[in-house]
């Protein structure tokens, strides 16, 4: 499965996570220099593009969705798997054509791939600007310094930067659901993962700036905020005078903005998700009953080698705990097929865990060795491509059955749905998400995006709940 999805589909089919986003809502002002931004990778990158746009707008730039008229072309990139990077190299070839056609156009690679590859991106003389995830405040200065002979690069990682004072310029299409980063970086060293190298050490953002940003979203008509971090459960902010705010407390603070403002979050780490967080979710109606809890593998041997710091039993216990406190909680996951040394038994362990948990949905990937990670140094990438693919296909097929099973359990349930817009197939119907993050389709009574509707589930497919109205 490709990890990149067009944002148009984002609100219609999938839990929001892996995204390719085009520019939205351009500002029409012919006198201003224009920036075009393409975003790849995870939600953090989407939010970072909004931060970048905010910084560049202050510098006088206007956003354009037409690459042909841009003075600056930026790709905000992802390094999580090799195919994510290959896609960017394909784009760099496209950008080269722009450079040939138009004098003075600036090509910038920012984000995780910029951080990983640094000046290697300058080879070939297409790219003029390389900026890592902690260097965005310097973009105006870097852009001013660029000449054809002097490309600019800043890939310094920071222990403090959280962009807390920058109000991101929202680039989502629907104006209902916004992302707010609550932390940056990651302190876990999962052996397969490049993120700690591209994003640096974990740091938590001032909770008052988070609440302020979420309040701003609400004041602007947004009805849903998703708090973002690589491991939200390890969020911990300490003030100079000794005040401490953990993730459970932060959730309460954001949920307190308004009962009409839904709160979501991603990603939870199975080793860190606490009973306190689970009970806080249960205590607030507007904290959505959905946890994205990446398992990666069902084999304790693989989990140990992946350095996930939990085993199969621990994971299953956390799922039992969640369901005992929040019986209808949506649980979704990420799975990696074909990590180093994975045996048929390890693979079977993943399949049986998936059958036991019955995830609502999953992002499923073939293992891709990333240079510089612990796994690349210690563990050979020794599962043949065909075997990885076959296992991945088995995992995807099983998840299709599990999604259907999970949806069938919803039949007869009454759900509160946040309307996203008309259903794609039938303009007389609306679509929107339940708290569990499942997509619901139901008859319209003229409601608008951002309204809430009460529905009852009457039928299902593996991707959608088909509902009738009860309000």
Q: Please tell me whether residue 155 binds ligand F3S under the rule CB under 6 A.
A: no
**Closest distance between ligand SF4 and the C-beta of residue 375, in Å?**
11
- For ligand F3S, which is the closer residue by CB, 368 or 464? 368
Interaction partner, residue 41 (ligand SAH, ligand SF4, ligand F3S, none; CB < 5-8 Å by kind) = ligand F3S
d(CA 420, CA 434): 11
Looking only at residues 205 through 264 of this chain, which bind ligand SF4 when binding is defined by CB under 6 A? 230-231
Interaction partner, residue 112 (ligand F3S, ligand SF4, ligand SAH, none; CB < 5-8 Å by kind) = ligand F3S
Tokens 């996203």, residue located: 420
Question: Quick one: which of 87, 170, 199, 308 contacts ligand F3S (CB under 6 A)?
Answer: 199
Beta-carbon count within 10 A of 201 CB = 13
Question: Quick one: which of 106, 171, 193, 278 contacts ligand SF4 (CB under 6 A)?
Answer: 193
Question: Quick one: which of 10, 42, 109, 261 contacts ligand F3S (CB under 6 A)?
Answer: 42
Question: Quick one: which of 195, 251, 293, 329 contacts ligand SF4 (CB under 6 A)?
Answer: 195
- For ligand SF4, which is the closer residue by CB, 76 or 152? 76
Q: Please tell me whether residue 55 binds ligand SF4 under the rule CB under 6 A.
A: no
Question: Quick one: which of 188, 274, 376, 462 contacts ligand SF4 (CB under 6 A)?
Answer: 188
Measured in degrees and rounded to the nearest 5, phi and psi for residue 312 equal -55, -45
Q: How far is CA 61 from the centre of its chain?
A: 26
Q: Please tell me whether residue 273 binds ligand SF4 under the rule CB under 6 A.
A: no
Tokens 């938590």, residue located: 204
R_g (Cα) of the chain, nearest Å: 22
Residues in CB range of 237: below 8 A, 6 or more apart: 204, 205, 206, 207, 244, 245, 250
Looking only at residues 54 through 93 of this chain, which bind ligand F3S when binding is defined by CB under 6 A? 78-80
Q: Please tell me whether residue 139 binds ligand F3S under the rule CB under 6 A.
A: no
- For ligand F3S, which is the closer residue by CB, 142 or 194? 194
Question: Quick one: which of 72, 186, 337, 460 contacts ligand SF4 (CB under 6 A)?
Answer: 186
Binding positions for ligand SF4, rule: CB under 6 A: 186, 188, 190, 193, 195-196, 230-231, 269
Binding positions for ligand F3S, rule: CB under 6 A: 41-42, 44-45, 78-80, 111-112, 194-195, 198-199
């Amino acid at each position: 499965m490709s990890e990149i999805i067009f944002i148009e589909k984002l609100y219609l089919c999938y839990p929001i996570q892996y995204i390719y986003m085009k520019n939205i809502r351009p500002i029409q002002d012919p006198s201003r220099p224009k920036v075009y931004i393409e975003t790849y990778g995870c939600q953090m990158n989407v939010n970072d593009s909004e931060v970048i746009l905010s910084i560049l707008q202050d510098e006088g730039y206007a956003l354009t969705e037409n690459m042909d008229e841009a003075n600056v072309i930026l790709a905000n990139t992802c390094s999580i798997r090799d195919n994510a990077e290959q896609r960017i190299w394909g784009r760099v070839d496209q950008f080269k054509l722009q450079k040939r056609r138009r004098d003075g156009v600036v090509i910038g690679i920012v984000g995780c791939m910029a951080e990983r590859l640094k000046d290697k991106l300058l080879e070939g003389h297409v790219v003029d600007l390389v900026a890592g995830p902690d260097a965005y405040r310097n973009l105006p200065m870097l852009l001013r310094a660029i000449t054809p002979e002097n490309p600019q690069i800043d890939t310094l990682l920071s222990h403090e930067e959280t962009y807390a004072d920058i109000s991101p310029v929202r680039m989502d299409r629907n104006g209902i659901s916004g992302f707010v980063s609550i932390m940056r970086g990651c302190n876990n060293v999962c052996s397969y993962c490049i993120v700690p190298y591209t994003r640096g050490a974990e740091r938590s953002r001032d909770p008052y700036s988070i609440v302020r940003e979420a309040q701003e979203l609400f004041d602007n008509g947004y009805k849903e905020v998703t708090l973002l971090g690589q491991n939200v459960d390890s969020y911990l902010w300490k003030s100079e005078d000794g005040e401490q705010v953990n993730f459970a407390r932060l959730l309460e603070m954001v949920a307190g903005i308004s009962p009409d403002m839904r709160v979501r979050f991603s990603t939870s780490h199975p080793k860190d998700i606490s009973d306190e967080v689970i009970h806080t979710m249960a205590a607030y109606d507007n904290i959505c009953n959905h946890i994205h809890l990446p398992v990666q593998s069902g084999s304790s041997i693989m989990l140990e080698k992946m350095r996930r710091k939990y085993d199969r039993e621990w994971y299953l216990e956390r799922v039992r705990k969640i369901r005992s406190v929040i019986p209808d909680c949506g649980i979704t996951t990420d799975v990696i097929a074909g990590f180093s040394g994975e045996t048929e038994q390890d693979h079977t362990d993943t399949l049986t865990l998936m059958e036991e948990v019955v995830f609502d949905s999953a992002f499923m990937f073939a293992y891709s060795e990333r240079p510089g990670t612990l796994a690349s140094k210690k563990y050979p990438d020794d599962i043949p491509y065909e075997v990885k693919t076959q296992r991945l296909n088995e995992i995807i097929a099983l998840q299709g059955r599990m999604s259907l099973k999970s949806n069938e359990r919803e039949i007869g349930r009454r759900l509160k749905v946040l309307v996203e817009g008309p259903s794609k197939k039938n303009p007389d119907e609306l679509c929107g998400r339940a708290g569990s993050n499942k997509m619901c389709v139901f008859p319209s009574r003229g409601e608008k995006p951002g309204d809430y509707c009460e529905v009852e589930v009457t039928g299902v497919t593996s991707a959608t709940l088909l509902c009738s109205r009860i309000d």
